[in-house]
């Protein structure tokens, strides 16, 4: 809840000051879905936020699948109805990925960094990544590849049609002050 409030305040302040605003993602754990009060507070805070909803994004990991499956889809739908984007994080790291894609409409698919790290060493990985990106686009999702660290990885992902690339190649995680300067 604290993180959601801080993200909304940060984005609102920049928006009001006419400064550039980029989307910020907030991770939701499987435990968050079992705390109905917390999820209600998050949704209410988003309603009060005077920023475009797509600027606050929510990442759901594959391990959250059990919680989502237990009739929590209404929470994700509420977030989407407020304009927020819902991301499936760490795609490919667990066993339930395809089940999650079948049962919920995510806006963005985040490919787990374990795939990206093998681009230069495993030809099968390149084929799998190409398939995942194509499949996601076919399902009208954008794709983020996590963990890019080398030029070769970035080049392959761009050539494969990946929408966004995240990783140390571009920047390490930054404190807020450094992020604002950047």
Integer-rounded Cα radius of gyration of the chain: 17
**What is the spatial distance between Cα 10 and Cα 22, in angstroms, rounded to a whole number?**
11
Farthest CA pair distance, the chain: 48
CA 49 to chain centre: 20
What confidence score (pLDDT) does residue 92 get?
83
What confidence score (pLDDT) does residue 66 get?
59
What confidence score (pLDDT) does residue 151 get?
98
pLDDT by residue (tens digit) across 161-182?
Answer: 999 999 999 999 999 899 888 8
Of the candidate ranges 42-56, 78-92, 156-170, the one whose mean pLDDT is the lowest = 42-56
pLDDT by residue (tens digit) across 13-27?
Answer: 998 899 988 899 999
**What is the spatial distance between Cα 166 and Cα 148, in angstroms, rounded to a whole number?**
6
Neighbours of 33 (CB within 10 A): 22
Q: Evaluate whether 145 touches 157 at the Cβ level (below 8 Å).
A: yes
Of the candidate ranges 8-17, 41-50, 172-181, the one whose mean pLDDT is the lowest = 41-50
**What is the spatial distance between Cα 152 and Cα 10, in angstroms, rounded to a whole number?**
34
What confidence score (pLDDT) does residue 53 get?
67
Residue 70 in tokens: 């237990």
Whether pLDDT at 154 is above 70? yes
pLDDT, average across residues 37-57:
83
pLDDT, average across residues 60-89:
78
Whether pLDDT at 133 is above 90? yes
**What is the spatial distance between Cα 146 and Cα 169, in angstroms, rounded to a whole number?**
10
Percentage of the chain beyond pLDDT 90 is: 47
Interstrand relation of 108-111 and 85-91 (parallel, antiparallel or unpaired):
parallel
Closest CA to 4 of 24, 23, 26, 22: 26
Closest CA to 90 of 109, 66, 67: 109
Helices and strands of the chain, counted as H and E runs: 10, 6
Please report the DSSP string for 78-111 in residue order: HHHHTT-EEEEEEETSSS-HHHHHHHS--SEEEE
pLDDT by residue (tens digit) across 60-70?
Answer: 887 776 566 65
- Which of the two residues, 63 and 140, has the higher pLDDT score? 140
């Amino acid at each position: 809840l604290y993180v959601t409030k801080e993200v909304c305040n940060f984005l609102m302040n920049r928006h009001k000051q006419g400064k550039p605003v980029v989307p910020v993602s907030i991770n939701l754990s499987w435990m968050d879905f079992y705390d109905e009060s917390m999820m209600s507070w998050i949704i209410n805070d988003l309603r009060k936020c005077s920023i475009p909803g797509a600027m606050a994004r929510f990442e759901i990991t594959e391990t959250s699948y059990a919680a989502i499956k237990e009739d929590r889809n209404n929470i994700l739908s509420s977030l989407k109805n407020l304009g927020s984007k819902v991301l499936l994080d760490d795609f490919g790291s667990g066993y339930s990925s395809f089940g999650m894609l079948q049962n919920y409409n995510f806006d963005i698919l985040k490919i787990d960094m374990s795939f990206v790290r093998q681009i230069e060493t495993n030809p099968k990985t390149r084929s799998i990544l190409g398939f995942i990106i194509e499949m996601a686009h076919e399902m009208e999702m954008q794709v983020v590849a996590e963990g890019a660290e080398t030029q070769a990885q970035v080049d392959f992902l761009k050539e494969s049609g990946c929408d966004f690339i995240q990783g140390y190649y571009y920047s390490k995680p930054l404190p807020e002050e450094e992020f604002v300067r950047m």
